[in-house]
Amino acid sequence: MNRRKIALSLLLALFMVLAVYYRPISLADSVGRENDILVTWIPLVQDAELGSTLQDPIQYELKAGSKETEALLEILDRYSYRNSLVTLLSEGAIEGSHAGGILHIYGREGLSTGGTGEILVGSRVCRIGLAGDRMNLMLIEDVLTLLEG
């Protein structure tokens, strides 16, 4: 009976640790609500000979408390990221773009993504959504629509 209680206690403790590690975290909380925010969009152009090439970045500087910053934070509040096994094993870099470019959002903590489903939060590689890139592509589209509109 004691072994069974110990095993159940260990299993419950493991479950609690995993639940905390894999919990969703708001992108707005990572960027910070009291900071100026710099958003950079770097378009990629496909070249038959060179492959993907980076174009000149487009930057948007948003002051803390401005309407644009509040609108961006509302968008970021709709999206969250999760730590994953890759977070533990990665070297802090992501590759590729399914969105035609790379989006960087700098606030308290930097966010970088190319729409592949992975997002670099500070130096940690995390996931947006549970699988695939759909949520990540929607995030990029929402941010660019706000800033270009």
Domain count across the chain: 1
Contact 98, 133 (CB under 8 A): yes
Confidence label for 1 from pLDDT (cuts 50, 70 and 90)? low
Check residues 129 and 24 and name the one with the higher pLDDT. 24
Contact 110, 120 (CB under 8 A): yes
Contact 128, 113 (CB under 8 A): yes
- The 10s digit of each residue's pLDDT in 40-98 is 999 987 766 666 676 889 999 999 999 999 999 999 999 999 888 777 777 777 887 88
Helices (H), the chain: 2-21, 27-31, 67-77, 85-89, 134-148
Tell whether 132 is covered by a domain. yes
Tell whether 14 is covered by a domain. no
Strand partners, 8: none
The model scores a pTM over 0.75: yes
Tell whether 5 is covered by a domain. no
Range of the domain at 83: 24-148
